[in-house]
Amino acid sequence: MMNNTVDYQNKTLMAVLAHPDDETFGLGGTLALYAQRGVDVHLVCATRGEVGEIDPEYKETIKSAACLRTQELRCAAEVLGINKLHFLNYRDSGMPGAEANHHPKALAAQPVEKVAAEVAHLIRKVQPDVLLTFDPIGGYRHPDHIAIQRATVQALELAAEKSFQDSEGLPPYQPQRLYFHFMDRSFLKIMVWVLRLTGKDPHRWGRNEDIDLMALTDVDFPTHVKIDYRPVKDLRKKAAACHASQGGAQMNKGLRGFLTWLFGGHHETFMQAYPELEKDPRYKRDLFE
Ligand SMILES: [Zn+2]
C-alpha cells in the first residue's frame, strides 16, 4: 500500500530490460503504479525485439519487426506512464539455438563489460534511486534477459566508481537499491498444475512453445518486495493490448489472464540484490521504503 513517509515526487526509477514487451508482461503493474504516484520512471530497452515472432495478420503489412515493436513499446510506455525510453540498439538474440544468436549485434553475444558501460552511463545520467532488472535466470532463461541482468549488476558498481569514465564524463553515482523482478513461484506452480490438468505440456509453454515452465519451478528467489498493482490493473491490460503483434490482447484473456482473475494475483514480486540482505525478512510493499 501507499507509503506516506516516501515523497514519490522526488524519486526516480529505472528499469533495465531486453525487449519491447518486457516492461509490460513482467513488471508493468509496478511501473504504472509508481508513475501514477509521481515517480520519474525511465526504461532502458536493450534491443528492438527483432526476433519476436509476429502474428500472421501483421506479417503482410509490415517490413520490419523491429519497427513495429518499437511502436508498440512507445504505445505501452505512454499507457504505463514511463517518462523516457532509452534504447541501447542491440539486436534480439532469440531463444537458444536460434540463428539470431550469432548476429554481430546480438545482445547475448556482446562482452558484458561493453553493455555494462552503456548502462552505467545511463545510471549516471538519469540518477535513479531504484534500479530494476531481471532475475539471474532471466525470468524464463531468455539469453537476452540474462545478458542485460549481468550487465546491469556490473553497471551498478561501475557507475559508482571514480575511475570509470563514461562517454559524457559524468560524475559517479550510486543508486540506493537494485531489485530483480521474478515470477512468483506459487503462481508458476499453479500454472503448471492447470496446464497438466488441461492436457497441455508445461515444458513447452508460450506462443512459440519455447518456454519450459517446469525448469523454472526448481529455482526460487526470496520475495523481498511484493507490489500490489490493483489500482493500475486496467492500465497494465491496456499496455498489454499495445503489444498486439506479440499476442498482447489475448494475453489478457488467455490462461494467464484467467488465473490472475481467479487468484486475484495482481502483484509483482522482487528480490533485493543491492544492498544485499543477510536474512530474508518479511517482505515489504514498497520499492522505496
Ligand atoms: Zn524479453
Angle between helical axes of 233-242 and 65-80 (0-180°, round to 10) = 160
Instruction: Convert the pLDDT of each residue in 255-278 to its tens digit.
Output: 666 667 666 678 999 999 999 998
Q: Distance, CA 163 to ligand 1 centroid (Å)?
A: 32
Q: Distance, CA 207 to ligand 1 centroid (Å)?
A: 13
Give the whole-number percent of the chain exceeding pLDDT 90: 64
Instruction: Convert the pLDDT of each residue in 11-65 to its tens digit.
Output: 999 999 999 999 998 899 999 999 999 999 999 999 998 887 777 766 666 667 8
CB 93 within 8 A of CB 144: yes
Instruction: Convert the pLDDT of each residue in 92-104 to its tens digit.
Output: 999 888 889 999 9
Q: Distance, CA 140 to ligand 1 centroid (Å)?
A: 9
Question: In this predicted structure, what is the pLDDT of residue 278?
Answer: 81
> Which has the higher per-residue pLDDT, 215 or 253?
215
The C-alpha atoms of residue 83 and residue 43 are separated, in whole angstroms, by: 8
Q: Are strands 267-274 and 177-182 parallel, antiparallel or unpaired?
A: antiparallel
Residue whose C-alpha is closest to residue 34's, from 4, 12, 5: 12
Q: Distance, CA 142 to ligand 1 centroid (Å)?
A: 7
Q: Distance, CA 19 to ligand 1 centroid (Å)?
A: 5
> Which has the higher per-residue pLDDT, 91 or 258?
91
Buried b (16+ CB within 10 A) or exposed e, 164-189: bebeeebeebebebbbbbbbbbebbe
CB 99 within 8 A of CB 88: no
Instruction: Convert the pLDDT of each residue in 191-228 to its tens digit.
Output: 888 889 989 898 988 777 888 888 888 899 999 999 99
Q: Distance, CA 23 to ligand 1 centroid (Å)?
A: 9
